[in-house]
């Protein structure tokens, strides 16, 4: 029986998919592809890896490497999959994929095993799952003998947005030997690669033993290994239900050189002591790297349009229109990207969809919150939606999950009125503990210690009206918190 650990690399911010993807709710947690139903890209990635299990392959607990601030997003989506035990390795900051994979390998080493790691990003889509499963199973067989297996995507167009793998068919094994890796080419070079036929897209998916990765990293980037090992040795851990959070030491982790798996190790392996093989993957792969890619994989109507939500199109062609919160109509347009959210609208020519990242750069330079968060913000206890605000007031709609509670907190600069519109609220207001039901309300004075909790079995919803001289989210002093934020 071959022991295999699924490793999901769940970092990245998906800036080219703004305004739907934000740093606080990035691309991998979105539902973007038609074939995935209501599952996010992250959930699809987990389900796909778990399809490789058979009588010869035993899957261990899923390892999720993600950012500390996304831990509850990942946890909520894991729980939706049911019976999916996982350990979340939480990065205090993004240091690229080489340190992320090293965390997974060190975790495996601590367990006393040397499993085969099946490593995939969390933000891709596959239309042919059986073909993907077969390619992974073939890769596992290669990795059993100590080689590194990489999936090479069968190219369909002269794509300039991907790195390429040059691989030569091995007639004896039926696989491919990797000759070299090449950077993203220009259009003419990419056309030549497609015509030559032995170049494949690099989709960032690897299969290898944990020990092989650590040995190769020590050979090529010992500085990354030593720095990651130091952060790992000082780690802490805690549990949330059936999931485990493991945190490398923050300051030590932030000092790790940021480098990708490819640059640190993989591109150095051809012709070295580390055998690297390729398995061809022809399974409808797409990394959904920009809105044009979302249009490509979407279900197009007779006019080539892909729509989502409440949309109305007249004489429109070859466009993507995504409505999140209201009716979006378009007349006489062609080759456009139109993305609507509650607080931002993007309109772009499809051929320029890669340049959306420049909008995000401008938002960051201007320190605008639209880069980071949607108007509706997920929290470990539920969510809030800032539905209106003006000078000295803000109105929020807040939903609290059954059994969940906000932190015991206080605000220096604002008072709050709470009105229950659905469910049962347990409210700590200074020395008082109140039970309020639908249409009942209370007032929280400025400076008063307070907490909101849902003791019921149904979601609790309230309307919160804030008033005061400063209404920023950073005006919170936490005294107790179920989620480790105090």
The pLDDT tens digits of the residues spanning 120-144 come to: 999 999 999 999 999 999 999 999 9
Least confident of 130-144, 173-187, 363-377: 173-187
Segment of 19-33, 83-97, 103-117, 330-344 carrying the highest mean pLDDT: 330-344
Q: Does position 485 have pLDDT exceeding 80, yes or no?
A: no
Q: Are residues 324 and 353 in the same domain?
A: yes
The answer for residues whose C-beta is within 8 angstroms of residue 155's C-beta and 6 or more apart is 164, 193, 194, 199, 200, 201
308 within a domain of the structure (yes/no): yes
- Residue pair 95/255 in contact (Cβ under 8 Å)? The answer is no
Q: Are residues 35 and 66 in the same domain?
A: yes
pLDDT the model gives residue 360? 96
Q: Tell me the pLDDT band of 171, cut-offs 50, 70 and 90.
A: low
Instruction: Identify the three-state secondary structure at position 26.
Output: coil
Percentage of the chain exceeding pLDDT 70: 98
Q: Does position 173 have pLDDT exceeding 70, yes or no?
A: no
Domain finish residue from 362, 386, 406? 362
For residue 382, the domain's CATH number is 2.60.120.10
Q: Does position 33 have pLDDT exceeding 80, yes or no?
A: no
Question: How far is it, in rounded angstroms, from Cα 284 to Cα 292?
Answer: 16
Q: Are residues 265 and 304 in the same domain?
A: no
pLDDT the model gives residue 243? 81
For residue 196, the domain's CATH number is 3.90.550.10
Residue corresponding to tokens 């890796």? 181
286 within a domain of the structure (yes/no): no
Q: Are residues 351 and 420 in the same domain?
A: no
**Exposure of 370 by Cβ count < 10 A (0-12 exposed, 13-18 middle, 19+ buried)?**
middle
315 within a domain of the structure (yes/no): yes
Q: Are residues 332 and 435 in the same domain?
A: no
Question: Which pTM value belongs to this model?
Answer: 0.92
290 within a domain of the structure (yes/no): no
424 within a domain of the structure (yes/no): yes
Which candidate, 265, 404, 293, places its Cα nearest to that of 356? Answer: 293
60 within a domain of the structure (yes/no): yes
DSSP codes joined into one string, 242-274: TEEEEE--HHHHHTSPP--HHHHTGGG-TTSSS
CA–CA distances in Å: residue 158 to residues 17, 151, 187: 22, 18, 7
pLDDT the model gives residue 367? 93
80 within a domain of the structure (yes/no): yes
Q: Are residues 260 and 311 in the same domain?
A: no
Q: Are residues 308 and 385 in the same domain?
A: no
Q: What range defines the domain where residue 338 resides?
A: 299-362
Q: Tell me the pLDDT band of 78, cut-offs 50, 70 and 90.
A: very high
CA–CA distances in Å: residue 298 to residues 31, 97, 244, 307, 340: 12, 28, 36, 8, 17
Q: Does position 18 have pLDDT exceeding 80, yes or no?
A: yes
Residue corresponding to tokens 């170049």? 199
pLDDT digits (tens, 9 = 90+) for 217-251: 999 999 999 999 999 999 999 887 778 899 999 99
CA 142 to chain centre: 28
Q: Does position 174 have pLDDT exceeding 70, yes or no?
A: no
Residues 373, 375, 376, 379: what is their CA dihedral angle, to the nearest 10 degrees? 40
Q: Are residues 117 and 70 in the same domain?
A: yes
Q: Are residues 25 and 88 in the same domain?
A: yes
Domain finish residue from 311, 338, 362? 362
Q: Are residues 353 and 384 in the same domain?
A: no
Question: Per the structure, how many domains does the chain have?
Answer: 3
Q: Does position 35 have pLDDT exceeding 80, yes or no?
A: no
Q: Does position 172 have pLDDT exceeding 70, yes or no?
A: no
Q: Are residues 332 and 399 in the same domain?
A: no
Q: Tell me the pLDDT band of 176, cut-offs 50, 70 and 90.
A: very high
Domain finish residue from 246, 281, 316? 281
Mean pLDDT of 26-45: 85
Mean pLDDT of the chain: 94
Q: Does position 259 have pLDDT exceeding 80, yes or no?
A: yes
Q: Tell me the pLDDT band of 106, cut-offs 50, 70 and 90.
A: very high
209 within a domain of the structure (yes/no): yes
Q: Are residues 245 and 311 in the same domain?
A: no
445, two tokens: 């004075």
The answer for residues whose C-beta is within 8 angstroms of residue 195's C-beta and 6 or more apart is none
């Amino acid at each position: 029986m071959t022991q295999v650990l699924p490793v999901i690399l769940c970092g990245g911010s998906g800036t080219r998919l703004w305004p739907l993807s934000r740093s606080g709710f990035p691309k991998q947690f979105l539902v973007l592809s038609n074939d995935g139903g209501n599952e996010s890209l992250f959930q699809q990635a987990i389900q796909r890896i778990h399809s490789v299990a058979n009588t010869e392959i035993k899957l261990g607990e899923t390892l999720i490497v993600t950012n500390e601030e996304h831990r509850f997003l990942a946890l909520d989506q894991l729980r939706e999959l049911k019976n999916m035990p996982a350990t979340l390795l939480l990065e205090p900051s993004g240091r690229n994929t080489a340190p992320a994979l090293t965390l997974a390998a060190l975790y495996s080493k601590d367990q006393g095993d040397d499993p085969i790691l099946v490593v995939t990003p969390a933000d891709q889509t596959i239309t042919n799952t059986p073909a993907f499963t077969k390619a992974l199973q073939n890769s596992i067989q290669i990795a059993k003998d100590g080689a590194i297996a990489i999936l090479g995507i069968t190219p369909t167009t002269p794509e300039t947005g991907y790195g390429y793998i040059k691989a030569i068919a091995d007639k004896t094994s039926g696989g491919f030997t990797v000759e070299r890796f090449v950077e993203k080419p220009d259009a003419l070079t990419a056309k030549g690669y497609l015509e030559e036929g032995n170049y494949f897209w690099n989709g960032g998916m690897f299969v290898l033993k944990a020990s092989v990765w650590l040995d190769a990293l020590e050979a090529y980037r010992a500085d990354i290994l030593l720095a990651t090992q130091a952060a790992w040795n000082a780690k802490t851990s805690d549990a949330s239900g059936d999931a485990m959070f493991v945190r490398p030491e923050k300051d030590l982790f932030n000092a790790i050189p940021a480098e990708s798996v490819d640059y640190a190790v993989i591109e150095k392996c051809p012709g070295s002591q580390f055998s690297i093989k390729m398995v061809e993957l022809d399974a409808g792969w797409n990394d959904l790297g920009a809105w044009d890619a979302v249009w490509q994989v979407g279900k197009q109507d007779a006019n080539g349009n892909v729509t989502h939500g409440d949309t109305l199109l007249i004489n429109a062609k070859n466009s993507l229109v995504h409505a999140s919160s209201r009716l979006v109509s378009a007349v006489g347009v062609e080759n456009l990207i139109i993305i609507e959210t509650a607080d931002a609208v993007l309109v772009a020519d499809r051929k320029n969809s890669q340049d959306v990242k420049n909008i995000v750069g401008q938002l960051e330079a201007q320190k605008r919150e639209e880069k980071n968060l949607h108007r509706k913000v997920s929290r470990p206890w539920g969510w809030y939606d800032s539905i209106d605000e003006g000078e000295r007031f803000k109105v929020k709609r807040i939903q609290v999950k059954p059994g969940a509670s906000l932190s015991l907190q206080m605000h220096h600069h604002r008072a709050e009125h709470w009105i229950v519109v659905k469910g049962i609220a347990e409210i700590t207001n200074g020395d008082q503990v109140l039970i309020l039901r639908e249409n009942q309300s209370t007032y929280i004075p400025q400076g008063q210690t307070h907490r909101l909790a849902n003791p019921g079995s149904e979601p609790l919803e309230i309307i919160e009206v804030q008033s005061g001289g400063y209404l920023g989210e950073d005006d919170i002093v936490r005294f107790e918190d179920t989620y480790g934020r105090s």
